[in-house]
Amino acid sequence: MATQHSRSAARLMMAPAVILLLGWMLVPLIMTLLFSFKKYLPLRGGDLGWVGFENYVRFVTSSAFWPSVLATLAIVGGVLIITVVFGVLLAILLNQPMWGRGIVRILVIAPFFVMPTVSALVWKNMFMDPVNGLFAHLWTAFGAAPVEWLSQASLQSIVMIVSWQWLPFATLILLTAIQSLDSEQLEAAEMDGAPPIKRFAYITLPHLGRAITVVVLIQTIFLLGIFAEIFVTTQGSFGTRTLTYLIYQRVLESQNVGLGSAGGVYAIILANIIAIFLMRMVGKNLDA
């Protein structure tokens, strides 16, 4: 029973975090909204007056807009699928009896500690370079022509780099969830003669539902904004221009702050559509 007193105390304790985040959200948001209705070109004198919805129209009608939305969804979706599927498999594997589990866990967790810039640089140069990269050496050793990863399989390459970074995160959360699984239930099922696939589908997977939701939610939040990986590798070429990168090109490369801000507003809308969708899913799952 919460008393009136503790309620107001609770509100007071929540206040700093809420007010700070509200400010962090609203101040830039309002400025972005203001800019988005202006012709704002820093290299041509800055604020050149109101233009109504012109920036909004221009941003969506540009031929780059829809491909960028699709690229964003493809990267986020691809990484989510890979990390969840391989995360579940890895978690199951790591939960088996074996020698040196601690060391294996250390090896698996390591990519999560690597800066995105560093991992993109290392993958791009030392692995995916079509002449000096390790993959190229490997391919030629087997007599195959080296793959030009970042131009011919650009989207897949970026999905791969980002998945490598996030796989440890997914694995660890899923592993914690698997470890909490009631082993008696599994043993009982095994006694009843249920094959491993059935046991996985009817016992393990449902149990992991909540953990998968959390992985999807947290990763989506981070993946929607990935920038360094694209900036370092393809600079948005070969169909890897995400919405975030398109906005970057408008604001920083073209120095069109008005247009870029309109793009920012679209990105916020897209993020919120995805957020509402996710929140529904998570909200339900968190109450359960």
Partner 1 sequence: MARSVTTQRKIINTAVAWTVGLLIFFPILWTILTSFKTEATAIADPPVFLAFDWTLENYATVLERSDYMRFLWNSVIIAGGSTLLGIIIAVPAAWSMAFVPGPRTKDILLWMLSTKMLPAVGVLYPIYLIFIKLGLLDTRTGLVLVLMLMNLPIIVWMLYTYFREIPVEILEAARMDGAGLKEEILYVLTPMAIPGIASTLLLNFILAWNEAFWTLNLTAAKAAPLTAFIASYSSPEGLFYAKLSAASTMAIAPILILGWFSQKQLVSGLTFGAVK
Partner 2 sequence: MTRIKSFHAATAMALVVASGAFADTTVTIATVNNGDMIRMQRLAPEFEAQNPDIRLEWVTLEENVLRQRVTQDIAANGGQFDVMTIGTYEVPIWGQQGWLVSLDDMPEVWDADDLLPAIRDGLTIDGALYAAPFYGESSMVMYRTDLMEKAGLEIPDAPSWDFIKQAAAAMTDTDNGTYGICLRGKAGWGENMAFLTAMANSFGARWFDEDWQPELNGPEWTAAVNFYMDLMTQHGPPGASTNGFNENLSLFQQGKCGMWIDATVAASFVTDPDDSTVADTVGFALAPDTGLGRRGNWLWAWSLAVPAGSDATQEAKTFIQWATSKDYTALVAAKEGWANVPPGTRSSLYENPEYQAAAPWADMTLNSINAADPTDPSVKPVPYTGVQFVAIPEFAGIATQVGQEISAALAGQQSVKEALDKAQALTLDEMEAAGY
Question: Residues 250 to 279: which contact partner 2 by CB under 8 A?
Answer: 250, 252-256, 259
- Smallest CA-to-CA distance from 40 within 279, 266, 263, 261 is with 261
Query: Of 46-85, which residues contact partner 1 (CB under 8 A)?
Result: none
Partner touching 107 among partner 1, partner 2, none, CB below 5 to 8 Å by kind = partner 1
249 touches partner 2 (CB under 8 A): yes
Cα separation of 2 and 230, whole Å?
A: 50
| 119 lies in the site for partner 2, by CB under 8 A | no
Query: Who contacts 172 (Cβ-Cβ below 8 Å, separation ≥6)?
Result: 109
Does 156 contact partner 2 by CB under 8 A? no
Specify whether the CB–CB gap between 171 and 93 falls below 8 A: no
What are 151's two structure tokens? 């131009």
Cα 29 to Cα 165: distance, rounded to the nearest angstrom: 30
Site string for partner 2, 44-83 (x = CB under 8 A): xx------------x---xxx-------------------
User: Could you give phi then psi for residue 50, rounded to 5 degrees?
Assistant: -75, 145
- Stretch of 4-12, 17-25, 38-46, 101-109 contacting partner 2, by CB under 8 A: 38-46
Residues in the site for partner 2, rule: CB under 8 A?
39, 41-45, 58, 62-64, 129-132, 145-146, 148, 150-152, 231, 234-239, 241, 249-250, 252-256, 259
